[in-house]
Structure 1
Amino acid sequence: MDKKKVILVSHGKLSAGMLHSIQMIIGENEDVSSMGMMPGEHYQPMVDALEQKLKENPDTQYVVVADLMGGSVCNGMTTLLQYPNIKLVAGMNMGLVINLVLSPGVLTDEEIDAKVAEANAVNKRIQPELLTNGESGEDDFF
Structure 2
Amino acid sequence: MRNILIATHSTFASGIQGSLNLLIGERSEITVIDAYVDDTDYTEKIDDFFEKYNDQDEYIVFTDLYGGSVNQKMVNYKNKYDFQLITGFNLPILLEIILAGETLNSSMVEELVEKCRQELSLVHIDMTEDDEDDFI
TM-score scaled by structure 2? 0.85
Distance 1:44 1:30 in 2: 21
Does 2:134 correspond to 1:140?
yes
Q: Which residue of 1 aligns with 2:17?
A: 19
Q: Which residue of 1 aligns with 2:32?
A: 34
- TM-aligned CA distance change 1:91 to 1:75, over 3 Å: same
Q: Deviations over 1:90-124 (max 9, x none)?
A: 01211111111000132110111111111111101
Please list every run of 5 or more consecutive structure 2 residues that lacks an aligned counterpart in the other structure.
none
Q: Which residue of 1 aligns with 2:3?
A: 5
Counting aligned pairs with the same residue, the percent is 22
Q: Which residue of 1 aligns with 2:95?
A: 98
Question: What amino acid maps onto 1:20 in structure 2?
Answer: G
Q: Which residue of 2 aligns with 1:88?
A: 85
Distance 1:53 1:89 in 2: 21
Distance 1:84 1:44 in 2: 15
- TM-aligned CA distance change 1:132 to 1:90, over 3 Å: farther
Please list every run of 5 or more consecutive structure 1 residues that lacks an aligned counterpart in the other structure.
none
Alignment counterpart, residue 128 of structure 1, candidates 121, 125, 135:
125
**SS state at 2:15 partner:** helix
Q: Are the counterparts in 2 of residues 15 and 36 from structure 1 also a CA contact under 8 Å?
A: yes
Question: What amino acid maps onto 1:117 in structure 2?
Answer: E
Question: What amino acid maps onto 1:60 in structure 2?
Answer: D
**SS state at 1:53 partner:** coil
Q: Deviations over 1:62-101 (max 9, x none)?
A: 1001111111011100012134531111012111111110
Q: Which residue of 2 aligns with 1:52?
A: 51
Distance 1:4 1:46 in 2: 18
